[in-house]
Amino acid sequence: MSMKIGAGLGVLGMAIALTIVVPLSASEEDSHQKNPFTGTWEVKSDWGKGERRGTHIIDVSPDLTGTVKDLEEGWTSKLRNVKSDGSDLSFAFFWGESDEYEIVFEGTLVENEITGEYEIFGATAVVVGTPMSAEAVAAAAARKYVADYYEARTFTGSEGDTIPYRLFVPEDYDPKKKYPVILFHHGGGGTGDDNRQNLEGALVKEWILPEAQAKNPCFIVVPQIPGKKAKTSESLKAAVGAMNLHIRTIHEILDSLEKEFSIDTSREYVTGLSFGGECTWMSMIERPDRFAAAVPICATSLLVEMDAPDRGREFAQFPLWIFHGDADVVVPVETSRKMVKALRDAGGDPKYTEYPEVGHESWDLAYREAELIEWLFAQSRNPDRD
């Protein structure tokens, strides 16, 4: 007996079509006949327009226990509540390495193909899975994940606050040259202390690739805000104070990197998504003279102490590009519209992109905009720069 499959792997999750016929051993054939879910699967998910796409490797034992590995980010989670009855199939797993965000799959397994949907927080993704060959599994095990591109570091600031962070250093870094630096703030799902879940979004994953770095070599700094669980009992005032402390520590990280590396201090940029969009504003407010440009994407507005009209007056002439999806049900698009209006009312002319029919995860669309990349790296606090 043999099994025809389609699978392939590329850099950071990009798939390449590949067709292989793999003979099954007697034990494999016996396991396959006992339960067709037994084996290793490449499972792709599409969360819709503007949302993330993902690939997972699901490895299942005959007793229907197993693991899920994220093919893009490299984390591994255990399969939970596996039910495989005829063609009906369901299972669950936690996204990331913490038991916090559960994804549930329901669908079918027919003729060596898994089809169905993932669901989390009411959002759904279309899912398709196919068996993997031994060669494809080996290639996945040897691949380089996004975390491998970044150095894991920890920094304790002058006020005793400790922040884990990731640092991308340009390949072939030359201390005789000056390099721009991007401060990236993760969303709410990236909080914690694992120094891994903060690596989210297309900027972190794609702006480090050789073709992007060849055009715009840069440092990327990705701090991780401590997990929200530690703040559940805090009042809003205390939470604001804690966040301001973290922001001050993050600026000290940048100060230290300016001493360690050859940083072009006239070309420091800040950006972030969702909760990280609000952190972008907080970083600007803390050090308004530091950055050459900022890109807040679907930014929340809970912890920032300066209201929209005041921010409009303060940053009217500052280079800003704001993004939001008009179908965002997590952070209403009106939040960004209000901010843009405040900037314009104060005489500013911010760039603003609103994606029609796009939900909360508008950031990958934004970070893949070629015009944004060109605009950002063209900004400088030194008007005489070549």
Tell me how far apart the alpha carbons of residues 188 and 305 are, in angstroms, rounded to a whole number.
18
d(CA 108, CA 106): 7
Q: Output the pLDDT for position 50.
A: 53
Average pLDDT over residues 98-118: 92
Give the number of other CB atoms < 10 A from CB of residue 171. Answer: 11
Residues of the chain with CATH 2.40.128.120: 2-141
The predicted model gives 178-188 an average pLDDT of 97
Residue 9 confidence (pLDDT) = 30
Residue length of the chain: 386
Instruction: Give 100's pLDDT tier (boundaries 50, 70, 90).
Output: confident
- Residue keyed to tokens 């025809």: 4
Q: What is the pLDDT of residues 33-47, one digit of tens each?
A: 578 999 999 999 998
Q: What whole-number distance in Å separates Cα of residue 282 and Cα of residue 243?
A: 9
What dotted CATH number matches 2-141? Answer: 2.40.128.120
Model confidence at 171, in pLDDT bands (50, 70, 90)?
very high
Q: Which carries the bigger pLDDT value, residue 229 or residue 215?
A: 215
Say if residues 43 and 58 touch (Cβ distance below 8 Å).
Answer: yes
- Topology of domain 146-378 in CATH is Rossmann fold (3.40.50)
Asked if the model's pLDDT at residue 187 lies above 70, the reply is yes
Residue 337, pLDDT > 60, answer: yes
Look over the chain and give the mean of its residue pLDDT values, rounded to a whole number: 88
The whole-number average pLDDT for the span 44-52 is 75
The stretch 129-157 carries a mean pLDDT of 91
Q: Is the pLDDT of residue 27 over 70?
A: no
pLDDT value at 384 more than 60: yes
d(CA 279, CA 272): 7
Q: Where along the chain do the CATH 3.40.50.1820 domains lie?
A: 146-378
Residues 6+ apart with CB under 8 A from 270: 182, 183, 185, 280, 283, 284, 291, 294, 295
**Side-chain half-sphere CA neighbours of 301 within 13 A:** 17
* Residue 13 pLDDT level (bands cut at 50, 70, 90): very low
Query: What is the SS3 assignment for 325?
Result: strand
Residue with tokens 């999806």: 325
Q: How far apart are CA 266 and CA 277, in angstroms?
A: 22
Q: Is the pLDDT of residue 61 over 50?
A: yes
- Taking alpha carbons only, the member of 227, 150, 240 closest to residue 188 is 227
Question: Which of the pair, 4 or 316, is modelled with greater confidence?
Answer: 316
pLDDT at site 2: 33
Across the range 203-209, mean pLDDT stands at 95
The answer to whether residues 155 and 162 touch, using CB atoms and an 8 Å cutoff, is yes
What is the Cα Rg of the chain in Å?
A: 23
Q: Which whole number is the average pLDDT over 188-205?
A: 91
- pLDDT the model gives residue 161: 97
Which of 265, 245, 243 lies closest to 254, judged by CA? 265
Could you report the per-residue pLDDT of 228-271, keeping only the tens digit for each?
544 444 588 888 999 999 999 999 999 999 999 999 999 999 99
Residues 6+ away with beta carbon under 8 Å from 212: 206, 373
Helix (H, G, I), strand (E, B) or coil at 5: strand
- Is residue 86 within 8 Å of 35, Cβ to Cβ? no
In the predicted structure, residue 344 carries a pLDDT above the cut 50: yes
pLDDT at 140 (0 to 100): 84
pLDDT at 238: 87
> Looking at 18-22, 165-169, 253-257, 258-262, which range is the least confident one?
18-22
Q: Worst-scoring range by mean pLDDT, 74-78, 293-297, 356-360?
A: 74-78
Reported confidence tier of residue 143, pLDDT bands at 50, 70, 90: confident
Is residue 30 over pLDDT 90? Answer: no
